[in-house]
Structure 1
Amino acid sequence: MRILHTSDWHIGRTFHGHSTLPALRTVLGALAEQVRSHHVDVVIVAGDVFDSAAPAANCYTLLADTLAELRDAGAQVVLTSGNHDSAARLGFLSRFVALAGIHVRTQPLEAADPVTIHDEHGPVHLYGIPFLEPALVRHLWPDTTLRTQAQTLAHVMDLVAADRALRGGRSVAIAHCFAADVEPTPGVEREIRQGTLDVVPLSVFGGHDYVALGHIHGRNTLAEGVRYAGAPLHYSFGEQHKPRGSWLVDLDESGLAGTRWLPLPVPRRLVTLTGTLDDLLSDARFDAETDAWVCAQYTDTTPQPDPMRRLLARFPHCAAVVHQPAERRERDGVSYAARVGATRTDEELVDAFLAHVREGEGASAAEAEIIAETVRGRVAAEVRV
């Protein structure tokens, strides 16, 4: 059996205010082509199909179109709900779409009831485990202590193990969680908390021929048969250097026979550019980045006027601007009140204000001239009055 492992589609997520649906449609179309060209039997989507519990109508359209493409390409689909999905909405009509080869698993009590698909070597049992939030599922097993996700997933995997022992044959587990030994992408996997509350040890996944994980947006291999595929699209600049793709997984009569990474296209590259604002606006070394999504980090000591508008003139897809001074002045400990109290003239008062709000940098020579002219004009007006 040949399996394609993907996850974290996050249909509906925006990128710095921009819709990602057109780009995601391109990438998911390429995923369907992988299914066709590699003769994939089963596509696994390990959670976070949508980005929110109440996605917009066009998100459902993209999902329906993609699932139809995957089926047309020859694969059955097994997908589970992640922490971003509404299990009820995603699982609506799941019994009916299963008749068409689309198996949607969103109910915790169904985790030990696998989707069984046969190949020439016999059955393969695919256990789709939805995201398990302890506070929301502990009432299902009132006699078991379920305070952490590790406890909850371990309990459900024990139920899966008992079912697998009765059925025999090969098996695949699908889970959406933060497994041990993986570092999250800052600002991306937003619900991951550092500590032990959400960390699931690898030991709970023992016994399966392959474990398809979701939740982490970067490709990761925790063991030969335990892997994250990551998201198919870059959703933050923190992900820009992480490859996008899917895992091609082969099972033979004895279990896992091999895995291979299949890259997916990146519709628009993400780059982070660093330099003074003048350099970013004019330096030839940035010419190749005009068609990329740009995060501009300008290093001027003081904030510059209207940087986003100016940068968009050169980089039409500039999505973020960050003021990142090359050097930060050490605070002298003087309060604003003390700084203002030491001034004797209006020009000194304005200069003290500028130094206080601009990392210690007072008025430049040109600014000082403008300030002096303004003060002289005000004084002349008062004299006339």
Structure 2
Amino acid sequence: MKILHTADWHVGKVLKGRSRLDEHRAVLRELVTLARREDVDAVVVAGDLFDTSAPTPDAQGLVLPALMALREGGRDVVVLAGNHDNPQLLEVYRPVLGKLGIHVVGGFRRPEAGGTLSFTARSGEPVRLAVLPFLSHRYVIRAAEVLAGTAADHNRDYAGRIGELIGALTAGFAADTVNLVTTHGTLPGGKFGGGEREAQSIFSYYFEAAAFPSTTQYAALGHLHRRQQIPGPCPIWYSGSPLAVDFGEEANAPGALLVTVEPGRPAVVREVAFDAPRALATVRGTLERLEAVAADLVDTETWLRVIVEEKPRPGLADTVREILPGAIDVVLDERFRPTSPVRPAGQGAAGRSPRELFRDYLTASGRHDDNVAALFDRLYDEVTT
């Protein structure tokens, strides 16, 4: 059986005010082409299809046709909610997409209610696939109550609850079936890609690789944007994102995973890098240095974050963008960032005019400019007369 494992699409992502729909369109087209070329039997999308819980019509208009294209030829397609997704929205999709043969799991489900899928792959193998979408601290308690049918102990830790849920979903794994798990979360030792949502990636959201039973032949994970294997009792992989989601991920190699597996044997995994994603890069230097490297960057399809090693002054960002048209994020090197104004002892704002306070701010922050001060005077006159 051959599986295409992908995750963390983040469709709808806006990068410094720039829409990335065209990039996502190209990436999803490459993903569908890969599924067709490799003639995979199943596709697992391990969460974060969308970048926000309220995806735009344009974002939904990319994702849904991509899922239907992946379903072509009778492939089983499994989708679960990540921490960026709206689980209720995915549950709305569930009955409609289910009629088309696409399995969607937005919230926790008991094994017999869709939490553990049982199907026969196109290649003929019987499959057991445990599906656990991302659960916040609040919802992991609700899931435990759904599983047990009684009130849960609120004092148990997150990792323990996730282990209990995975244990229940995988209880039906057998020696003559292909046994798979997919979930969205953080394992200790995983390397962050750079664009993950920090509040839902910290240690209180960790769970252990030991949660996956040794009867599992492959665990397909989402959430960390860097493609990587995690040591554990079975093959455990993050597919990573199919494109660099944000600056900080420029060293990642966007792509997906092709997994070959049969009953009773660990999966064999092949990494596939994508060509379609637009690269992100960080450039640092003075205006003189930026001009020196501009010839190497001006014709590329790379979005740039530029860290400027210059004192702040009006129009600096515009000058940088004239030198490097691909610059979508221009920031000052921390050595040149203004510090909070230091007011002399005993000197307060009382009795001093807004004009005086504004000029003090410009001077103390290293931004003094007579033209800016004059513009402030004109604006102040307009709003006060």
Following superposition, the deviation at residue 93 of structure 1 comes to: 4.2
> Are 1:155 and 2:164 an aligned pair?
yes
TM-score (norm 1): 0.81
Q: Write the mapping of 1:159-238 to structure 2, written as runs, cut at 5 A.
A: 159-164=168-173, 169-186=177-194, 188-195=196-203, 197-207=204-214, 208-223=216-231, 225-238=235-248
AA partner of residue 298 (structure 1): V
1:139 matched to 2:142? The reply is: yes
| Amino acid corresponding to residue 176 of structure 1 in structure 2 | H
How much does 1:110 deviate? Answer: 3.7
Q: CA deviation at 1:199?
A: 0.6
SS in 2 for 1:164: coil
- CA contact under 8 A between 2:185 and 2:201: conserved in structure 1? no
Kindly indicate whether the alpha-carbon contact (under 8 Å) linking 1:132 and 1:149 is maintained by their aligned counterparts in 2. Answer: no
One-letter code of the match for 1:92? V
Flag the structure with larger Rg: 1
Alpha-carbon spacing, 1:353–1:46, altered in 2? closer, same or farther (3 Å) = closer
Going from structure 1 to structure 2, the CA distance change for 1:108 and 1:15 (only over 3 Å counts) comes to: same
Deviation of 1:115 after TM superposition, in Å, equals 4.0
Give the aligned partner of residue 129 of structure 2.
Answer: 126
TM-score (normalised: structure 2) = 0.81
Residues 49-88 of structure 1 mapped to structure 2, 5 A cutoff:
49-72=49-72, 75-88=75-88
SS in 1 for 2:4: strand
Q: CA deviation at 1:218?
A: 1.0
Contact 1:234 1:240 in 2 (8 A): yes
Amino acid at match of 1:209: Q
Determine helix, strand or coil for the equivalent of 2:277: coil
Name the structure 1 match of 2:258: 248
How far apart are residue 36 of structure 1 and its match? 0.9
Distance 1:325 1:219 in 2: 31
Contact 1:103 1:115 (C-alpha < 8 Å) held by counterparts: no
Deviation per CA, 1:125-149, whole angstroms, max 9, x where unpaired? 1111111223124234144435543
Instruction: Give the alignment's Cα RMSD to 1 decimal.
Output: 3.1
Task: Compute the displacement of 1:353 (Å).
Answer: 7.2
Structure 2 counterparts to residues 244-323 of structure 1, below 5 A: 244-280=254-290, 282-283=291-292, 285-290=293-298, 291=300, 292-300=302-310, 302-323=311-332
Question: How many percent identity over aligned positions?
Answer: 27
C-alpha distance in 1, partners of 2:238/2:263?
24
The change in CA–CA distance for 1:304 and 1:268 in structure 2 (over 3 A counts) is farther
1:351 Cα deviation (Å)? Answer: 11
Partner of 2:92: 92
C-alpha distance after superposition, 1:25-59 (max 9, x if no partner): 10010001111111111110001111222211111
Q: Kindly state the Cα deviation for residue 190 of structure 1 after the two structures are TM-superposed.
A: 3.1
More displaced stretch, 311-320 vs 22-31: 311-320
**What 5-or-longer segments of structure 2 have no aligned partner?**
349-357, 375-385
Q: Paired residue for 2:383?
A: none
How far has the Cα of 1:289 moved from its partner? 1.4
> Which deviations, in whole Å up to 9, do the C-alpha atoms of 1:180-220 show, x marking residues without a partner?
1113344533333533x101111001221000000111112
Which whole-Å CA distance do the structure 2 matches of 1:175 and 1:355 have between them? 54
- Compared with structure 1, are the counterparts of its residues 71 and 357 closer, same or farther at alpha carbon in structure 2 (3 Å cutoff)? same
Q: 1:346 is matched with which residue?
A: none
2 CA distance for matches of 1:234 and 1:325? Answer: 24
Deviation at 1:355, TM superposition (A): 6.2
Residue equivalent to 1:104: 104
Amino acid at match of 1:81: A
CA contact (8 A) 1:340 1:353 kept: no
